[in-house]
Structure 1
Amino acid sequence: MLNAILHAKSGRHGEAEARTPWRETFRDSEDFITATLFERLSYLSGPTAMSILAEATRRDAGGDGAKLFGWRMAEITEIAFWPLWEDPLPEAWRKEPDVFLTLRVGDPQQVIHLIVEAKRGGAPQLQEQWCNQLRCYNDLRHEDASPDLVGYLAIGGHVPDPTAYRGAGLKQRPDTLFAIAGWEDMARGVAQALDTSAPAEARILKDMQEALTLFGYLHVKFEDTLKHMAEVDARAVTSFGAWT
């Protein structure tokens, strides 16, 4: 489906004059970018997936991205999209995180449970949503042994007050590790992984890169020669403009 949309072969949906191109619907949907990116992330080798998530969360100076994703030995063993979790509060609606992953990392091996909440564009991440999901997670019955680490990844949108959000989340579960990333950060991580990827993984990474580009997140890598170019004197630009 992704390639049909990317190459304008997916047609339209809806009725009569109101029919909308699937490409436009895909571009405007937070759920589509979440499913497209994280589904393909789970197809990658563990170390490659970790390198992307580590790079995506690198700019989150107060976060726990390095603790969650700085593993050389790693494997994504389970992934669930939009799981419905019962809320232990009376008469409360079930809660639905965007993605829930189980990762096995390190040697000796440890288990990480990772909750992912994704937002599109400038939509705010919601502190109440973080707390609600962690409260529901605490009430889950895990088939395996309890995890060694519990992580919460907020990707996309914006977090008005990261310290306050983390503090509120820690009241629900004190051992939670929090990380914040933008889709543009994910695009940078994918681009860097492409530089060193094997051919089999490169195809998956290129799919991810094209999907991110469709959503408006393109990482442009500047050549080292451009970084070291001398600064142009503004007076020279003005003189050149007058002369031409």
Structure 2
Amino acid sequence: MIYAVKHNKVNRAIYKANEDALTSAIFERFMYLPQELVQYIFTEALFDSIPNLDLTKFESITYWPNWSPEHTTNTTRVEPDVFIRTNNQDIIIEAKRYDENQQDPDQWSREIQAYYNEYSDDEKPLIFIALGGLYKNKTETINVKDVAHLVYKCTWKSILNTIQHIIHDMELATNYTNNNIAVTKILQDMVLCFELFGFSTALWLERFIKAPQLQKQSINYFSTSWTN
């Protein structure tokens, strides 16, 4: 689809304005990446670290789940954008089209309440991430069911920047194997998605200057298990 948009086979203006299309374009490609890399991207892109965040053991990912609106102000359903289940925790991601001034704490509360309507018996820790639409980057606290829930923050731009840094490091890595090239192509498609949605993907001048030898920490995600 993204190449159809790129070559104007699909109405770019309609596609570009659609919040759900952006969410789908990026998160569908996340699912093609090694889960350790997904973990790395979110760890780097989030403004505050999430203790014990573990995106390396996916059980499922659901887009726009239809949850019961009981005990909320909604009348028909509650529909968060992305719901990820892992072995050890559940993760709600509420995504907005733009990076500023769209998130709504009342919507966060409704989605957390609706989560408990569906999964209260599971007793898994719940993580809530507000992606884009931020009024402030600092982690916030909201109370649902007399429990304080932290809402962590992230922007599309911080995800894009992290992906571009990874592409840059992978292209410089000495073990730039066929498997790493395949991963890089997925990441490059994600950058193209961001570009089609109007995000600046221009590279800084430092990218055109010969980089020093990579530090070991910066290429931890090139583990041998990825290339076997």
Is the pair's TM-score, using the shorter chain for normalization, greater than 0.5?
yes
In the alignment, the residues of structure 2 paired with residue 128 and residue 160 of structure 1 have an alpha-carbon distance, to the nearest angstrom, of 16
Q: Aligned partner of 2:91: which letter? A: L
Which 4+ stretches in 1 moved above 4 angstroms? 160-163
Number of the residue aligned with 2:8 = 8
Identity of aligned residues (%): 25
Number of the residue aligned with 1:96 = 79
Number of the residue aligned with 2:116 = 138
Q: Aligned partner of 1:102: which letter? A: R
Alignment of 1:50-199 (within 5 A): 50-57=39-46, 60=47, 63=48, 65-67=49-51, 69=53, 74-89=56-71, 92-93=74-75, 94-104=77-87, 111-121=88-98, 122-141=100-119, 145-147=122-124, 149-160=125-136, 162=138, 166-168=140-142, 170-172=143-145, 174=147, 176-197=149-170, 198-199=180-181
Q: 1:34-75, CA deviations, whole angstroms, 9 ceiling, x for partnerless residues?
A: 111111112211111111111211xx2xx4x34254x5x813
Q: 1:132-186, CA deviations, whole angstroms, 9 ceiling, x for partnerless residues?
A: 000111111379x532x311111111235856xx322x44473644320111101
Q: CA RMSD in A?
A: 2.6
Note closer, same or farther for the CA distance 1:31–1:123 as it changes in structure 2 (3 Å cut).
farther
Is contact 2:61–2:82 with CA below 8 Å preserved after alignment?
yes
* TM-score, normalising length: structure 2: 0.75
Please point out which of 30, 44, 68 is paired with 1:41.
30
Q: 1:71-98, CA deviations, whole angstroms, 9 ceiling, x for partnerless residues?
A: 5x81333111111110222884211101
In the alignment, the residues of structure 2 paired with residue 181 and residue 99 of structure 1 have an alpha-carbon distance, to the nearest angstrom, of 14
How many matched pairs? 197
* TM-score, normalising length: structure 1: 0.71
Please point out which of 210, 215, 220 is paired with 2:197.
215
Q: Radius of gyration: which is bigger? A: 1
